Structure 1
């Protein structure tokens, strides 16, 4: 509901309550720190005004006034047009950040609120506070925490974008373009660009970044590229507004003014003085020495009028009118139906689809980290995982066949809406063929090993000779196996085994593979192995209507050889007795023999990694059949980006959400007041 506009910026009782909640949820800021935060920028502004004292005293006010009056109407119009372009870019900037944070705010509302907030905060200073309060006022759907988070994200990403644009602007300056064209300055700009590029590479392909003990989540590359472009448009347009106001007698190339403006803007941003007063003027006077001070000050005064004062006056009108003054809200565009965790399986249509899914692995939804993309008629769907760069449809649709192409198109639309690349991962040939017909790039990624339980339950023949030896070893050591009872699971013992297993192997894999969680395994088909009266291993299976799929295998250190073989063999016997047509031992990386070209040596090395080779030997003991699985994306570049993203999500997964906490696992939702961001 829109807040009332009474008193312009009056805060309703509901919002006052949220402020109180926020205040209670956060630790008190030390008095000295709070005073410094408020007084520091003002003191910095006074310091710079003091440094300018001699120059201010020498200013010929009449000359400055005369120079200001000589600015022609076409110059004012050009500056106003450039200002309009700059603020439009800022509005789009906010819209991208809202998509990244998944606030649910539509782009037009986000953009108008962003322009209003920036117009006011750049004049008043204290950008994080004023920007957050203005966005909170203009977007009633946001909490104060969310508005603050949007403002902080806009500020942080803008600073990074400004650094890139400023560095590039300095590098392209000709040698005779003043102080910024000096060799050391260009070398510093190049080092800054290399550092930022390295951070960008790490954000895509490296480990998860941590800043001050907290995970640092960067926007996807598509969003970063768009934000960088918008930063360039914004800052260059602002610089051109200033350049347009230069007196006719000053022949200053625009690229020199752009570079000087960007550096001066950085000084103002870092020192955070109200309106950038002081640092900005000092920097401009130092970086453009070829201009007369009176003329340049007149230009700067005109720039402050057209770029600061005029937008702030317009923004104050919108702020006083409140959200209702923004015009009619746009009707959200048709979007794919995405059911987000943690409520995924509580939706009746989804629960029914998962229960009847052709791929039993779709039950990985119970981990609470993935969403479901529903078909428009609600009769089909797909498990969807979201990485840092890709929106990934896992396995196959719940009902493969007709409608797969439509779901792929829906996936592409959902990916565009969150600035990610769409991808299919570990899909079978049928889904891969549908993607290929749509022009997508398709590649082999894995092989699923499976068997027909009724045909192999006795484990006869030469193909199972190795398996029979393993089973005899386990039996010799007194290992007994059986299906776990529905109640009274030994969760504490299982948790110890799972933790020990993860520690010795450098952690669990995730994303498309299950991880230990008591509530998760309690809903699976579970087999336990005991020796000498204690639990030594367990295995869990996804249980579908037509197939079972091996999920977790966890054994204690020192478990007898053949223990895990015995667990899986017992599940195969049960599946045969129950008439299950297919039991999958899950997937392995593709064999190198299936490929040609430069990737073969790398794939052979992958095959010989101890973890891969050991798992392949274990599964081959059951003489399984093989089915090829594929990865697909719209373009080769998107495929590479998605593959890197999936690899990171598998090998360094984020912690599983707490399935018992309301709202856990929802993409991008704000934490409770006082929670870390």
Structure 2
């Protein structure tokens, strides 16, 4: 229940966060002032309720407390342990999301110890940060402070959303106006939660003034909500188990009141919410006698606050900070040069599209034996295996590694543009699979223009020939001319697409096979291809605005001739979306809408004019929800890719086994021929 029982007052969080960013210790002075305010509020609260407090029968409370049976104590202790097991996972989850590299077991242990102590002694942000710093080797006090603030903020957000859901499903017994007010506030909280979810999906990173805000991924949000449910439900169950037999309070009736009382404790800022929690619970629960309920709350505070605090202090005293440094994270910074191991693996692959690694955007996930790999793309919500794995592939192992790494990052796992065989293995492994594209490719051993299916292509080629267009492979075309044409092309279309599609840069295109179209000696368009020992794959097509009709068709034909000259047997024209008529279910409407776009129709007509063979490509994910989220995130990444970063020119060392290796770059080796 990440700091939900602590005394961390939300009124001072902003100041503490600013001080943390300035590399200073947490706000001691501010926290002290906050505690003084809390004590003053509690004194005022007690003064206002002095008559009700004076009317309490302390003897009856003591008698009711003495009637709590050993079985009740045992069951309540078990429920409390379950609650702490859930809240400890807040730390493990956020450690993964923040990439601290701390082992999950150590993160969980430090988390429950920090929460158990801070909820009892108060000064939640400071005490929690100090405990985490003490128990997590390799973590600075500043990092521990940020983690503590993140744990508290994440729980508060999850509690607000969970409380809204519970109050709508299980309304508390209030008068008409009060019930409507509670439901209205719950509806507003749900609306804000929906807005936050949409922002996390479509714009997870944003800049507000000088601050950069990055929201958690949807998988992390979902896990936080689930942990919050387990945490608070077991905490409420522990209290319910301590109620006297025949109290007339059901567990489902207690839970929404418990959540509201918890919120009252937050607002007060007192240690454990003492005072406001009790009064709120008394006001919301239909209890004719207050003594048994107060006795149960007292017993609950002992078993839920006192006992964990004692155990936590013992664990803190026995902990040793002198442990080895944190584990190295799996992610390695980008580098433009392939290590020899990866260069060999990729060189032996029959997937020329792996040349996309030279874009400096994607990573490589190596298998444990380092004999196979998988190109990995990262979006705001997903870790995505692109194309098929390469090398000595063990597809089930690669799928398991992808899921594990995605979970470590707080993302969903997804595979995009799998071939039929890999998709079949993914389906047998329990993944959900759906068609996502059709690869258009030409078998050069049988490609001929003089066929009825290519009549339209011949007409286009005659137009280009009549206009005086000359297309040929050029080993070193003028980079400035190519950049100018690419910039005009991108400007006319708003921007280039990315992620699984290449984007122009002089260094990127320099290592590809580039076919150039000229008119009267001037470059009016070009096409670039990923190259391999057995196949070429179309990457960029960039015609000038005044390029005559048929120019791009002539470029592809010139590429076919150049590939044949290199002994290549296959040329791919890249992929097209599947036809809506071939799709079943709700996805058919999506593809039907995509087919109505003018650019999609023109691209299909262009590629189908070559009468290519079609091979299906698939998207896969562990669940239907992950498949839908992954598809949406991939679409966003393709249509609105982030700016490419200039990669460092320093090569990295050989990666450790099972690690994700950075984006890399391999030279294109062309056959010898004149331009």
Shorter chain as normaliser: what TM range?
0.7 to 0.9
Once the two structures are superposed, the pairs formed by residues 130-209 of structure 1 within 5 Å of their partners are 130-144=127-141, 146-173=143-170, 176=173, 182-193=179-190, 195-197=192-194, 199-200=196-197, 203=200, 208=204
Q: Secondary structure at the match of 1:105?
A: coil
**Mapped contact 2:499–2:638 kept (Cα < 8 A):** yes
Number of the residue aligned with 1:608? 596
Mapped partners of 1:530, 1:27: distance in 2: 57
Contact 1:65–1:298 (Cα < 8 Å) also in 2: no
Return the alpha-carbon distance in structure 1 between the equivalents of residues 208 and 585 of structure 2: 44
Report deviation, 1:586: 0.3
Q: 1:659 to 1:278 in 2, by over 3 A?
A: farther
Q: Is the 8 A contact 1:448 1:584 kept in 2?
A: yes
Give secondary structure in 2 for the equivalent of 1:447: strand
Structure 2 residue ranges without an equivalent (≥5): 1-16, 653-658, 663-675
1:394 aligns with 2:394: no
1:443 alignment partner in structure 2: 434
Q: Which residue of structure 1 lines up, in the alignment, with residue 53 of structure 2?
A: 59
Judge conservation of contact 2:334–2:648 (CA < 8 Å) in 1: no
Q: Answer yes or no: is the 8 Å Cα contact 1:453–1:572 preserved in 2.
A: yes
Structure-2 change in CA distance of 1:77 and 1:257 (3 Å): same
- Offset at 1:127? 3.8
- Aligned residue for 2:530? 542
Q: 1:661 and 1:71 mapped to 2: Cα distance?
A: 71
Q: CA deviation at 1:464?
A: 4.8
| Cα shift readout 1:167-197 (whole Å, capped 9, x = no counterpart) | 2332344674689972331343244335435
Q: Which residue of 2 aligns with 1:623?
A: 611
SS at match of 1:395: strand
Tell me if structure 2 keeps the 8 A contact 1:448–1:626: yes
- 1:267-321 CA-partner distances (Å, limit 9, x unpaired): 3335655544565455445445846667766655554444334433433333344
Please, which of 326, 334, 338 is the counterpart of residue 342 of structure 1?
334
Q: Give the C-alpha shift of residue 588 in structure 1.
A: 0.3
How far did 1:587 drift? 0.2
Cα distance, 1:144 vs structure 2: 4.8
Cα distance between partner residues in 2 of 1:126 and 1:508: 51
Identify which range, 614-623 or 36-45, moves more after superposition: 36-45
Residue pair 1:179, 1:287 contacting (<8 A) in 2 also: no
CA contact (8 A) 2:530 2:536 kept: yes
Change (3 A) 1:427 1:44: same
User: For the Cα contact (< 8 Å) 2:133–2:139, is it kept in 1?
Assistant: yes
Q: Indicate how the Cα distance of structure 1 residues 347 and 90 shifts in structure 2: closer, same or farther if over 3 A, else same.
A: farther
Q: Is the 8 A contact 1:543 1:549 kept in 2?
A: yes
Cα distance, 1:250 vs. partner? 5.7
CA contact (8 A) 1:509 1:652 kept: yes
Aligned pair partner of 2:424 in 433, 436, 440? 433
Alignment of 1:83-162 (within 5 A): 83-144=80-141, 146-162=143-159
* Alpha-carbon separation, structure 1, partners of 2:129 and 2:495: 39
- Report the 3-state secondary structure (helix = DSSP H, G, I; strand = E; otherwise coil) of the residue aligned with 2:374: strand
User: In the alignment, what sits opposite 2:398?
Assistant: 407
Instruction: Report which stretch shifted further, 572-581 or 146-155.
Output: 146-155
Partners in 2 of 1:251 and 1:501 — Cα distance?
A: 73
Residue 308 of structure 1, aligned match among 305, 308, 312: 305
Q: What's 1:580 paired with?
A: 568
**Secondary structure, counterpart of 2:575 in structure 1:** strand
Shift in alpha-carbon separation, 1:339–1:668, aligned structure 2, 3 A: closer
- Where 2:370 maps in the other structure, the secondary structure is coil
Find the partner of 1:570 among 545, 550, 558.
Answer: 558
Q: CA deviation at 1:360?
A: 0.8
Report the number of matched residues: 634
Structure 1 residues 407 and 233, CA gap change in structure 2 (3 angstroms): closer
Task: Check conservation: 1:95, 1:111, Cα contact below 8 A.
Answer: yes
1:375 aligns with 2:373: no
**C-alpha distance 653-215 of structure 1, shift in aligned 2 (>3 A):** farther
For 1:354, the equivalent position in structure 2 comes to 346
Corresponding residue SS for 2:256: helix
> TM-score, with normalisation over the residues of structure 1?
0.78
1:448 Cα offset (Å): 0.9
Deviations 1:452-493 (A, max 9, x none): 44655x855555554455455556666655545459733xx6
Note closer, same or farther for the CA distance 1:49–1:522 as it changes in structure 2 (3 Å cut).
Answer: farther
Distance, in Å, in 2 between the alignment partners of 1:156 and 1:330 is: 25
Contact 1:68/1:299 (8 A) holds in 2: no
In the other structure, the counterpart of 2:668 is none
Give secondary structure in 1 for the equivalent of 2:601: helix
Q: Does structure 2 conserve the Cα–Cα contact (< 8 Å) formed by 1:375 and 1:407?
A: yes
Residues 633, 559 of structure 1: alpha-carbon distance in 2 compared, 3 angstrom cutoff: same
Corresponding position: 1:660 with 2:648: yes
Of residues 631, 638, 641, the one that matches 1:643 is: 631
**Residues 1:288 and 1:442: Cα distance change in structure 2 (over 3 Å):** closer
Match of 1:234 in 2: 231
Distance in 2 of aligned mates of 1:538 and 1:273: 69
SS at match of 2:438: strand
Bigger Cα displacement from structure 2, 263-272 vs 211-220: 211-220
Distance in structure 1 (CA, Å) of the matches to 2:149 and 2:479: 46
Corresponding residue for 1:18? Answer: none
Tell me the distance in 2 between the aligned counterparts of 1:267 and 1:531: 76
Equivalents in 2 of 1:555, 1:28: separation in Å? 52
Alignment partner, residue 5 of structure 1: none
CA distance in 2, matches of 1:23, 1:266: 25
Q: Which whole-Å CA distance do the structure 2 matches of 1:668 and 1:295 have between them? A: 61
The 3 A distance-change label for structure 1 pair 497 and 114 is farther
Q: CA deviation at 1:523?
A: 3.1
C-alpha change, 1:613 and 1:249, in structure 2 (3 Å) is closer
Shift of 1:546: 1.5
